[in-house]
Amino acid sequence: MRNVRAKALLLAGVLGLFVLHLCKDFIDNKIFNLEEDVREDKRQIRQLIQKKTYVYSWTECQQNMSAANITGFKTLPQHIQDFLYYRHCRHFPMLLDLPDKCGGADKSAEVFLLLVIKSSPGNYDRREVLRKTWAKERLHNGVWIRRVFISGTKDTGFEKERLNKLLKVEQREYNDIIQWDFHDSFFNLTLKQILFLEWMERNCPNARFLLNGDDDVFAHTNNMVEYLQGLKDNDGSKHLFAGHLIAGQGPVREKKSKYYIPVQVQKSESYPSYCGGGGFLLSGYTAMVIYNMSRSITILPIDDVYMGMCLAKAALSPASHMGFRTFGLRLPSASRVQSVDLYDPCYYRDLLLIHRFLSARMYFMWHKLSDLNLKCGP
């Protein structure tokens, strides 16, 4: 009998501990949820403030059905048909905004170099490396470098939502993404560029200079700041557009090429001079001139050529800068000498931008080049 009572007591004790444990979990969760709620409230307040400064008021852009009447339309590749159906669309709702990136339009002159990096939603790893290397937001030589990634959306349905969520999570941590709700594709890069310029006019019109480029280039941003500071007019109020100059080219009529432009998209056989889209430097003034010109120029899907068209319309020229190597760098006798070291920072020390660099090499090179004791031969 005593034995039974002792067993019951023991059981009650164990049960009690168990219930206590459950309670604790419940309370912990409650506190956690409370913190989440407070954070959520703060976010909503922030969004309310943002909403006050910018209200999207365009109706959804409709497909231009008459595009299908263009001669030979049915014979064009699918992505070109898509392009022609939506060529006229220039406004898309924002999914992620950064109205305070430059401290507001009034204070935006304090941004010396704004890094504007085209990045597709799935390229998380590229963004992560850039944040840690050349695109780090920082004060260099007494002036501010700021960073934005510009993005559209990828895929549809669940997969699209998943990628949007990824960007949202990144935004919460880094505050460096501008995203619009349009399909992020190669032939929509000009659209992305125009949407960025529209954002800039609203939120960062007085940034001194911009580096406009892709997320797979190595940009020596310290060298860029020093180069720009050394210019006679270094407040961004004069024309500057510099990069890897490409002149005397015309549309690629080869159907298999990524750059294929049929006569249905552009009749003329020539392109104006332009700078390779991997990366180029421009002044805030020139960016705003380009935006103004773009309003009256039909979209051409090749974004760097389109920038050249806008410059030409404003009677401005793009300039060649030897520091830009958007076709990569030909290393000395790389084909003959096996021992040439692709990781030797001395090849890159004096350059401004090189295509194409990915994670490990990017991380390694940035650290090598940031080493003040780096010694190179003549």
Ligand X SMILES: *[C@@H]1O[C@H](CO)[C@@H](O)[C@H](O)[C@H]1NC(C)=O
The distance of closest approach from Cβ of residue 212 to ligand X in the complex, given in angstroms and rounded to an integer, is 16
Residue type, 230: G
* By CB under 6 A, residue 71 contacts ligand X: no
Q: Tell which residue, 259, 256, 264, has the closest CA to residue 274.
A: 259
* By CB under 6 A, residue 64 contacts ligand X: yes
* By CB under 6 A, residue 175 contacts ligand X: no
Binding mask 185-214 for ligand X (x = CB under 6 A): x-xx--------------------------
* By CB under 6 A, residue 83 contacts ligand X: yes
CA geometry: angle 105, 110, 111, nearest 5 deg: 85
* By CB under 6 A, residue 315 contacts ligand X: no
* By CB under 6 A, residue 94 contacts ligand X: no
Binding mask 230-269 for ligand X (x = CB under 6 A): ----------------------------------------
Is 356 buried (19+), middle (13-18) or exposed (0-12) by CB count in 10 A? middle
Q: Who's near 280: CB < 8 A, 6+ residues apart?
A: 211, 212, 213, 241, 242, 243, 244, 304, 307, 318, 324
The distance of closest approach from Cβ of residue 286 to ligand X in the complex, given in angstroms and rounded to an integer, is 8
* By CB under 6 A, residue 69 contacts ligand X: yes
* By CB under 6 A, residue 288 contacts ligand X: yes
Binding ligand X by CB under 6 A: which of 149, 209, 274, 285? 285
Is 304 buried (19+), middle (13-18) or exposed (0-12) by CB count in 10 A? buried
Tokens of 239: 């024309």
Cβ nearer to ligand X, comparing 73 with 124? 73
* By CB under 6 A, residue 297 contacts ligand X: no
Please list the alpha-helical segments (H only) found in the chain: 2-53, 78-86, 124-132, 157-174, 189-203, 221-229, 284-294, 303-313, 359-369
**Proportion of the chain in helix, strand, coil states, percent, rounded to 5:** 45, 15, 40
Cβ nearer to ligand X, comparing 231 with 293? 293
Q: Catalog residues that contact ligand X under the rule CB under 6 A.
A: 64-67, 69-70, 79, 82-83, 86, 88, 182-183, 185, 187-188, 285, 288-289, 292
